[in-house]
Amino acid sequence: MTGTVTARVAAKVNVQLAVGGRRPDGFHDLANVFLAVGLYDEVSATPADTPRISVSGPYAERVPLGDSNLAARAATALATWHGLPAPGVHLHIAKDIPVAGGMAGGSADAAGALLACDALWGTRTPREQLLELAAELGSDVPFALLGGAALGRGRGERLAPLPVGDTLHWVFALADGGLATPAVYRECDRLREASGGGATVTDLPAPEPSRALLDALGAGDARALGAALTGDTDTAGAADRTTQATGLPRCVNELQPAALSLYPALADTLATGDAAGALAGLVSGSGPTCAFLVPDVESADAVAAALLGSGTCRDVRTATAPAAGATLLG
C-alpha cells in the first residue's frame, strides 16, 4: 500500500494494581485491572526510503526519536516477524498522552505502530500474533491493542477482557517531570523489605483482583467503584495477606506507596482532588499522574478547576472511559 495509514490508541489507568512477588526474570507478578481512558495518541505510517520518527504535540520534546522509540521498535519487530528487510517507514506520532506519567503512552505508540504498519504493508498479521509481538515489546502493549477494560495476569500481558457497565468520568492531574517504571518497582521492593513485615519480595501471596471492584466496574457504578478504590469495601483476601506480609498499608494501587516515596508532593495532589469532591483518587500505574474518579461531567470540571487552582499539579485533563482499543482511522 502507498499513502499513509493512521492508528488511534488510548491511554490507560490501572483501577487496581496488585503487585506480587518479583520473579526470577525481574518482573513482578500482577493482578492488573486495566481501563482504557479517552486520551489518545495517533500513529501514522508512511512509506519512506529510510526509517524516520517524528513527534508533534505538547509532550513531543520528551519523546526519543531514535531506535529506542517504542513505535520504531514495534515496526522493526513486525517486519522481522514477516522476514521483511529493515522497515522503510516514516512514523509520525501525534502525542497527546503524557510522557512517563504512568498512562502507558509509549505502549500506546507501540500498539499503534504495529496496527498501522500491518495495514500499510498488507501483512495481515493474525490478531494472536500481534498480541504476542505486543507482549514482547512491553507488558502494557497488549492492553493498548485491546482497549476497554481487562484483567492482566502474569507481568500484565495475559489479558482477560472485563465488562464495564457505563461511562466513567475521570480527571487526571499531570505532574512536573516523570517517574521511570523500573525505579518505581524497585522502590516498591525496597519499601516492602524495609517495612519490618518480614516480606521476602520474591515470595509473596499471588496477587488477586478485588471482587467488589470488578463488580462495581461491571455495573458501571461510579460510587461503588469509588468505595472499592478507597478501600471502603472489602478488597480481596489476597490484599490482606500481602498487607500482612509486607507490613505496608493496603492500597488499591500497590505501586502507589513507592510513587509517593519517590515523589512526596503527590500526596498534596491526592488530598486536593479528595477535598474537591472526587469519589476516589489514586496514582495512575507507576505515576506520577494522579487519577480521580468523579460521578459526572460537572464534577469533572469542578475537580479539574480545583486541582489547577491549587498549584499542586502542572496541568489537568478530563476523559471518559472505557475507550476503544487501537483503531485504524479512515
Ligand X SMILES: Nc1ncnc2c1ncn2[C@@H]1O[C@H](COP(=O)(O)OP(=O)(O)OP(=O)(O)O)[C@@H](O)[C@H]1O
In the annotated binding site, the residues are 98-108
* Interface pick for ligand X out of 17, 74, 99, 225 (rule CB under 6 A): 99
**Nearer of residues 101 and 325 to ligand X, judged by Cβ:** 101
The answer to whether residue 69 forms part of the interface with ligand CDM (CB under 6 A) is no
> Do 174 and 305 touch, CB atoms closer than 8 A?
no
Q: What is the DSSP letter of 165?
A: -
- The one-letter amino acid code at 275 reads A
Residue 155, contacted partner among ligand X, ligand CDM, none, CB below 5-8 A by kind? ligand CDM
CA distances from 257 to 69, 184, 286 (A): 29, 9, 10
Neighbours of 24 (CB within 10 A): 6
Q: Is 28 in the site for ligand CDM (CB under 6 A)?
A: yes
Q: Where are the beta strands (DSSP E) in the chain?
A: 5-22, 28-47, 52-56, 89-94, 149-153, 158-161, 168-174, 280-283, 290-294, 315-321, 327-328
Least Å distance, CB 269 to ligand CDM, is 18
Q: Active-site residue among 41, 118, 140, 189?
A: 140
Please report whether residue 283 would count as binding ligand X according to CB under 6 A.
Answer: no
- Single out the residue of 14, 44, 76, 242 in contact with ligand CDM (rule: CB under 6 A): 14
Residue span binding ligand X (CB under 6 A) among the ranges 82-90, 103-111, 239-247, 250-258 = 103-111
Q: Which of residues 122-151 bind ligand X (CB under 6 A)?
A: 140
The CA–CA distances, whole Å, from 179 to 99, 285, 325 equal 9, 10, 25
Does 95 engage in binding with ligand CDM (CB under 6 A)?
no
Q: Is 12 a catalytic residue?
A: yes
Binder of ligand CDM out of 140, 187, 208, 254 (CB under 6 A): 140
Q: With contact defined as beta carbons under 8 Å apart, do 108 and 185 qualify?
A: no
